[in-house]
Structure 1
Amino acid sequence: MGTRVARVELTGPAEELVRRLTARHGPVMFHQSGGCCDGSAPMCWPRGEFRVGAADVLLGHVAGNTPFWMSADQYASWRHTHLTVDVVQGRGGGFSLEAPEGVRFLLRSRPLTDEERRRGEAEAPLPTGAEVTG
């Protein structure tokens, strides 16, 4: 069937920041929880320091092999959306790895196109934390 519908990507500046963070901290991952405050921004963690829940959904990989996870509740609301991770000046209020850099990750979104939506509906469900380790 080919490749899955791309549901998440990085802007150039966000990808460069992920490369720098990976060089400093080793492999990293993203998690988008969808809560208030810090949960409304994607959080970047050293891989293995954030425990993915069984119901979390793996949207895909960015910057090569960096997994991007989202809580199942959030995904239920955003499943028809394509996300772009960007980076902007200003410190977020959380524990995400980019905070000491004086920048923060944020999400920009757009609805999936009709073609992307049709393809996505024909695909197998996205993997969850219950199925994927690492």
Structure 2
Amino acid sequence: MSTTPPRVLATDAALDLIRLLEGKHGPLMFHQSGGCCDGSAPMCYPLGEFLTGDSDVLLGQIGGCPFYMGRAQFEYWQHTQLAIDVVPGRGGMFSLEGPEGLRFLTRSRVFTDAEVAALEAQETGSR
């Protein structure tokens, strides 16, 4: 029996920054940007400030915060696990971490064939 891998996870540094931001802003949410002004960075918002809908996919949670990605972008990334990390620098201008001198960064890896099969089985079973 295979274990279903998370679609998104966070490093310890990202979890530390999430806790800091929650202390300042309350509950949070993330949306993986598809480009434009802030590139393709994970954007951090107060929970509910970024409106999601049918065009967004909930990938999972990091640090107890929901993490979304646009459905069109998900079609390209569905075979990839996202690992949210933190690096020094300036975050996206609309993302909460900007003033902290740090920014969230998405790292990724392609799922193995077994992991893809487990994800597909889980998603088929939840329909």
TM-score past 0.5 threshold:
yes
Partner of 1:76: 75
Partner of 2:108: 109
Of 86-95 and 19-28, more deviation after overlay is shown by 86-95
Partner of 1:36: 36
Indicate conservation of the 8 Å contact 1:7/1:81, yes or no. yes
Q: Match of 1:35, as an amino acid?
A: G
Q: Gaps spanning 5+ residues in structure 1: where?
A: 128-134
Q: Match of 1:62, as an amino acid?
A: I
Segments of 4+ in structure 1 off by > 2 A? Answer: 1-5
The whole-number CA distance in structure 1 between the counterparts of 2:69 and 2:39 is: 10
TM-score, length of structure 2 as denominator length: 0.90
Indicate conservation of the 8 Å contact 1:81/1:111, yes or no. yes
Taking only the aligned residue pairs, the percentage that are identical comes to 57
Indicate conservation of the 8 Å contact 2:29/2:46, yes or no. yes
Partner of 1:91: 90
> Greater share of strand residues, 1 or 2?
2
Indicate conservation of the 8 Å contact 1:32/1:39, yes or no. no
Q: Provide the aligned C-alpha RMSD in A.
A: 1.9
In the TM superposition, what is the alpha-carbon distance from 1:4 to its structure 2 partner? 4.5
Q: Match of 1:110, as an amino acid?
A: R
In the TM superposition, what is the alpha-carbon distance from 1:113 to its structure 2 partner? 1.4
Q: Gaps spanning 5+ residues in structure 2: where?
A: none
The whole-number CA distance in structure 2 between the counterparts of 1:5 and 1:50 is: 26
Q: Match of 2:94, as an amino acid?
A: F
What is the count of residue pairs matched by the alignment? 125
